[in-house]
């Protein structure tokens, strides 16, 4: 569904150039439910905006559902946003019109495409568990219910890819878990490819793959070590290891070593390490320890 190779995004601010993505690689299969995590400024929201057709890459390859987004005209981008991708924002003001009912909010994007709207909108509100609230206006809905309406809107035009930017950021833990369970159910029943950007580490228990981005590049991946169903009874055990972390090599064989790992072996105030091969293992040593051992 998604193929990003050596993706670069450079923003110009006055006379300065800011590199948001610097050679990012990412591949997502059709029907996958995955999350992208990273600190503020890591590039995760920039990536989501490009996947959603809201921003253009500066260089590299970006193909979604067989479509090369770097070759899109403005008309192609509009069609892509209407037909291929659905977007859920953290801020409900970007998703919803406050003076319309839940049903009318979901009907609007369907109406813009000239389709019969009422039945489809009702089906979507039922799918997100809000059929009984369809005639309520937004001020009569809780934050979690408003986010469910936003998800129904994102699904209105049968997208193949659903993107969610911090969809649980403004919700309490209980409601956030319900929203994440809803994403998983939609992924399973509709075959949707779902990509969620989040800072919430608890999300890792709800998805099959988590990709960590650091400094504009993919730094590591966490892949589920056993099925989600087997872990449902163990969700309260915070120490349970649900995923295995893999470092990600780029095409040049480079990988990112977390700063705390380097500090743990004594690499400070230097950009050099000694790399040795011992008993089939790659070993990193700080320069001073390497000189002592030799």
Least trusted range by pLDDT, from 62-66, 148-152, 165-169 = 165-169
Give the pLDDT mean for 146-155: 89
What does the block give as tokens for 133? 């609230």
Most confident among 47-51, 187-191, 201-205, 235-239 (mean pLDDT): 47-51
Q: Residue 85: its pLDDT value, please?
A: 92
What does the block give as tokens for 12? 């110009």
Q: Which residue has the tokens 């011992």?
A: 278
User: What CATH number was assigned to the domain covering residues 2-84+159-229+239-256?
Assistant: 3.40.50.300
Per-residue confidence band for 269, with pLDDT thresholds at 50, 70 and 90? confident
- Determine what percent of the chain is predicted with pLDDT higher than 70: 86
Which residues of the chain form CATH 2.10.260? Answer: 257-294
Span 257-294 CATH architecture: Ribbon (2.10)
Query: What whole-number distance in Å separates Cα of residue 3 and Cα of residue 26?
Result: 6
Q: Is the pLDDT of residue 231 over 70?
A: no
Which residues of the chain form CATH 3.40.50.300? Answer: 2-84+159-229+239-256
DSSP letters spanning 92-123: GGGT--TTSBHHHHHHHHHHHTT---HHHHHH
Q: Which residue has the tokens 């406050």?
A: 98
- Per-residue pLDDT tens for 253-262? 777 777 778 7
Q: Residue 228: its pLDDT value, please?
A: 55
Query: What whole-number distance in Å separates Cα of residue 43 and Cα of residue 200?
Result: 16
- CA distances 115 to 107, 118, 119, 227, 233, Å, are 10, 9, 10, 39, 43
- CA distances 219 to 65, 198, 213, 215, 281, Å, are 24, 16, 5, 9, 20
Q: Residue 93: its pLDDT value, please?
A: 67
- Per-residue pLDDT tens for 157-166? 888 999 998 8
pTM above 0.95, yes or no: no
Query: Of 258 and 233, which is predicted with more confidence?
Result: 258
- Per-residue pLDDT tens for 129-142? 888 988 998 889 88
- Per-residue pLDDT tens for 69-91? 988 889 998 888 888 899 888 77
Locate the DSSP E strands across the chain.
2-13, 16-28, 33-37, 59-64, 67-68, 85-88, 161-165, 193-198, 209-214, 217-224, 243-247, 274-278, 281-285
Query: What whole-number distance in Å separates Cα of residue 184 and Cα of residue 167?
Result: 13
Query: Of 1 and 267, which is predicted with more confidence?
Result: 1
Q: Give me the helix-helix angle, 143-154 and 118-127, nearest 10°.
A: 130
Mean residue pLDDT of the chain comes to: 81
């Amino acid at each position: 569904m998604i193929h990003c190779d050596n993706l670069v995004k450079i923003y110009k601010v006055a006379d300065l150039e800011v590199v948001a993505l610097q050679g990012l690689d990412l591949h997502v299969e059709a029907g996958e439910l995955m999350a992208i995590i990273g600190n503020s400024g890591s590039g995760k929201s920039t990536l989501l905006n490009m996947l959603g057709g809201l921003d253009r890459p500066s260089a590299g390859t970006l193909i979604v559902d067989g479509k090369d987004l770097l070759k899109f005209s403005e008309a192609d981008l509009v069609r892509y946003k209407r037909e291929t991708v659905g977007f859920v924002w953290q801020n409900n003001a970007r998703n919803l019109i406050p003076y319309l009912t839940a049903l009318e909010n979901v009907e609007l994007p369907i109406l813009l495409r000239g389709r019969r709207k009422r039945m489809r909108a009702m089906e979507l509100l039922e799918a997100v568990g809000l059929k009984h609230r369809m005639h309520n206006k937004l001020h009569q809905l809780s934050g979690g219910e408003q986010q469910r309406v936003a998800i129904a809107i994102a699904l209105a035009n049968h997208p193949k890819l659903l993107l969610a930017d911090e969809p649980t950021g403004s919700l309490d833990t209980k409601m956030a878990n319900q929203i994440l369970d809803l994403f998983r159910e939609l992924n399973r029943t509709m075959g949707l490819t779902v990509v969620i950007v989040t800072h919430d580490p608890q999300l890792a228990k709800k998805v099959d793959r988590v990709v960590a981005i650091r400094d504009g590049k993919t730094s590591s991946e966490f892949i589920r070590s056993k099925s989600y169903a087997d872990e449902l009874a163990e969700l309260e055990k915070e120490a349970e290891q649900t995923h295995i972390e893999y470092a990600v090599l780029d095409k040049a064989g480079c990988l990112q070593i977390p700063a705390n790992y380097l500090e743990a072996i004594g690499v400070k105030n230097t950009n050099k390490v000694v790399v040795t091969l011992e008993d089939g293992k790659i070993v990193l040593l700080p320069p001073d320890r390497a000189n002592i051992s030799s």
